[in-house]
């Protein structure tokens, strides 16, 4: 008795089609760290930690004592300025860092960007993921600016421009 599978296998011919995409471009590329880039990144991280420590252990205690020592009108003015600086720092960071990064990501089409500082061997992303990252950075920038505008408006509602202070 003849096996049906043998007949089917011997009479069926499979045509080969060209690949749906260029497989040679799918080979994963990496950015390798250099000693100089590692050193620069570690200095940048150390500076950020130092800045955070200064803000935590020097600026915040100074602010708390000033809020307790100053007369109420001056304390309100100081609190208003501190909140305004905090509200505007986020959109300024977004405009100064995220928008140029989003523009370069969109233009180059790869992340990390060529020549970027990395601490370890990092795979390079290309294509749609990079475009989505660029759009997300732009959206983050727009939302942070909108949040700052709303926060400034709310700040002016809560703390009036010239607080009513009683003459002492």
Please, what's the largest Cα pairwise distance for the chain? 115
Q: What is the pLDDT of residue 25?
A: 54
Q: Using the CB atoms, write b or e for 6-33: b if 16+ within 10 Å.
A: eeeeeeeeeeeeeeeeeeeeeeeeebeb
- Structure tokens of 24? 């040679």
Using the structure block, give the residue that is written with the tokens 């309100």.
Answer: 76
In the chain, where are the structural domains located?
31-158
Taking the chain (168 residues) in runs of 10, the rounded mean pLDDT of each run is 57 60 63 90 95 92 91 86 88 90 94 88 90 94 92 84 60
Using the structure block, give the residue that is written with the tokens 């915040």.
Answer: 60
Q: What is the pLDDT of residue 94?
A: 85
How far apart CA 110 and CA 47 sit, in angstroms, is: 28
Q: What is the pLDDT of residue 5?
A: 57
How far apart CA 10 and CA 35 sit, in angstroms, is: 60
């Amino acid at each position: 008795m003849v096996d049906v599978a043998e007949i089917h296998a011997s009479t069926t011919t499979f045509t080969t089609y060209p690949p749906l995409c260029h497989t040679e471009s799918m080979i994963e590329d990496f950015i390798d760290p250099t000693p100089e880039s590692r050193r620069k990144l570690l200095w940048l991280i150390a500076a950020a930690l130092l800045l955070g420590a200064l803000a935590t252990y020097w600026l915040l205690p100074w602010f708390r004592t000033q809020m307790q020592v100053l007369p109420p009108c001056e304390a309100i003015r100081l609190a208003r300025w501190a909140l305004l600086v905090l509200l505007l720092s986020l959109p300024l960071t977004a405009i100064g860092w995220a928008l140029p990064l989003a523009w370069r990501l969109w233009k180059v089409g790869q992340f990390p960007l060529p020549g970027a500082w990395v601490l370890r061997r990092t795979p390079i992303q290309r294509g749609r993921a990079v475009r989505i990252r660029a759009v997300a950075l732009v959206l983050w920038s727009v939302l942070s600016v909108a949040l700052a505008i709303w926060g400034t408006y709310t700040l002016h509602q809560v703390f009036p421009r010239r607080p009513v202070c009683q003459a002492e």
